[in-house]
Amino acid sequence: MNGLVEILGLTKAYDEHHVAVSNISLTLPRGKIIGLLGPNGSGKTTLIKMLNGLLMPTAGSIRIGGKPVGVETKAHVSYLPDRTYLSGNKKVKQILDYFADFYKDFSRERAVGMLQSLGIEPDARMNTLSKGTKEKVQLILVMSRQADLYVLDEPIAGVDPAARDYILRTILNNYNPNSSVLISTHLIGDIEQVLDEVIFMRYGHLVLYTSVDNVREKHGKSVDAYFREVFAC
C-alpha cells in the first residue's frame, strides 16, 4: 500500500479521565484529499497536533514517509493551525523570508503571485490585516510549499462564503498530486466536493475511514447527510 502516514495504536491521554485520542490505527495514502470530521471534542485537533509534533502521544506511533515525527517529517509536512500563528509585528514580506529560510520546498514566487492576486501588499504588517486576510496569508504560505502532507485545521471556519471558495480553490490548485491533504472541519457541506476520503472521529475513537464514493454508494447519502445521521444528538 502506498502509505504516506502510518498511525498505529495512537493514544493521547491528558489524565486517566481525559483520553483525547484512543487507540487509533490507520494509514493515509498519497494523492488524496482527506476530510477529518467529527464534532467538537472528538480529538481531531489532538490528532493533528500529534502529526505535527506539537503533542507527544501517550502510546502508539506515527510515521510520515516512513519516519517518526521529528525534524525530518516537519520538513515535509505543511501545517495550517486553527489560529493566527504569525507575529503581528512582522510584515508579510518578512514572513515570506522566514518561510523561504526554513522550508526548502517553499516557493516564494508562488506565494507572491497568490498575494498579488488578492491585492495583499508584501509591505503590509500582519496586525493591520483583517482576520480573513490573515487567514488567507497563512493559507497562501502553507500551500506555497511542495510538501508531502498538508494538514489544515479548520481552514474555512470563520470566513465568509467568498473567502471559503477562494480557500478551497487555493487548496485544489496548489497541492501536489503526489501529496495528501488532511482537512479538519465542521463545515462538511462546503468542503465535501473536494474530498476523496473521510475520517469520522467521536470521543477520541475512529468511527469510520472510507472513501467519499463509498459513503455515497453504500449509504445513498452525501457525506454531510451521513455525518448528521451518525453524529445525531
- Contacting positions for other proteins (CB under 8 A): 49, 52-56, 71-72, 74-75, 77, 79, 81, 83-87, 89-90, 94, 98, 101-103
Return the closest-CA partner of residue 155 out of 64, 71, 83, 70. Answer: 83
Between 32 and 49, CB nearer to other proteins? 49
Between 79 and 200, CB nearer to other proteins? 79
Between 46 and 185, CB nearer to other proteins? 46
At closest approach, how far in Å is the CB of 193 from other proteins?
A: 28
Q: In which residue are the cell numbers 483520553 written?
A: 19
At closest approach, how far in Å is the CB of 74 from other proteins?
A: 4
At closest approach, how far in Å is the CB of 83 from other proteins?
A: 5
Between 62 and 198, CB nearer to other proteins? 62
Between 32 and 145, CB nearer to other proteins? 145
Between 79 and 227, CB nearer to other proteins? 79
